[in-house]
Amino acid sequence: NFRLHKADIIQSRACSVFANDVVKIKLVGSVHDIDTEQKSFSPLFTHQIFGQREEITGYVNPKVEILYASNSLRPLIRFSSTSRHSEQMLQEHGLNATDVVNCIKRFVPCDYLSSTEDLRSELAKNPMQEIGLKVGGYNISHVVPRSMNEKETLAEDQFEFYFSSLENPEVHQFANRLQSLAMWMIEKSSYIKADPNWKLLTLYRRLKQKETKSQGNDGDSAQQADLELVGFVTIYKYLCAKDCILGKTKCK
């Protein structure tokens, strides 16, 4: 169990911030989303990266962004701060400045992008593609309410399940990116070791929108399609004494 003395808490708060409050994670769908705070969310856990206190030390108004390109889930780390606390101040409190970027790369390994320009280039590549074999799915249809200046639209959300094996290098790389996201959201989450018995089940939403003719408008209808990841779960296949195949889930 981790316990702090009152004096330690006072010293820490003078130079530190709660990491869960300053780390923001976002799935970026276009270049317009990169510098907006919409769609971003905070991690649930940061102790595996920044220690049991879940603190970032040595900076004034630090800001940590983990931006995932939605088409590939390849992430970018962006870190900034207004200024740094002096080394003398940190030494007086017996503290060291947190090496934020290296801490993340060490405890949440992934094939990170190097710059915002790299993220823009990543987003310009092909949209997300399904990985594995389709094993099921379901549809949800609904009418989008019409506003004063917009046409009424009919939307259909198609959800699809895909099954794949981590034996495939492409699948294993994609699973590593998924696990880097899970590290921020699942307590005591850990990376899967290379093993052909690990399988990956992914859930995608294939969104189709069809513009319907509004009253007094005979224009042609247009159709758009998009694919986005909704969730995932890893499954381990093993044999029991009676040669029965069983499964156990790792994370989702």
Helix, strand or coil, per DSSP, at residue 156: strand
**Structure tokens belonging to residue 38:** 């919409």
Could you tell me if 138 and 206 are in contact, meaning their C-beta atoms sit under 8 angstroms apart? no
pLDDT in tens, 13-23: 678 999 999 99
Structure confidence at residue 72 (pLDDT): 92
- Does the global pTM surpass 0.75? yes
Going by the DSSP 8-state scheme, the letter that residue 176 receives in this structure is H
pLDDT in tens, 43-66: 999 999 999 999 999 999 999 999
| Domains of the chain by start residue, with CATH | 6-123 (3.90.360.10), 133-249 (no CATH)
Is the sign of the CA dihedral 77, 82, 83, 85 positive or negative? Answer: negative
Write down the mean pLDDT value for the chain. 83
**Contacts of 88 by beta carbon, 8 Å cutoff, 6+ apart:** none
Could you tell me if 197 and 236 are in contact, meaning their C-beta atoms sit under 8 angstroms apart? yes
Please state, in angstroms and rounded to a whole number, the distance separating the CA atoms of residues 192 and 19: 25
Strand partners, 198: 236
Which of 129-143, 175-189, 234-248 has the weakest average pLDDT?
234-248
Percent over 70 (pLDDT), the chain = 81
User: Which amino acid does the sequence have at 135?
Assistant: V
Backbone angles phi and psi of 196, in degrees to 5: -65, -15
The pLDDT of 81-101, averaged and rounded, is: 93
Please state, in angstroms and rounded to a whole number, the distance separating the CA atoms of residues 47 and 54: 5
pLDDT in tens, 106-153: 999 999 999 999 999 999 988 888 889 999 999 888 787 776 677 777
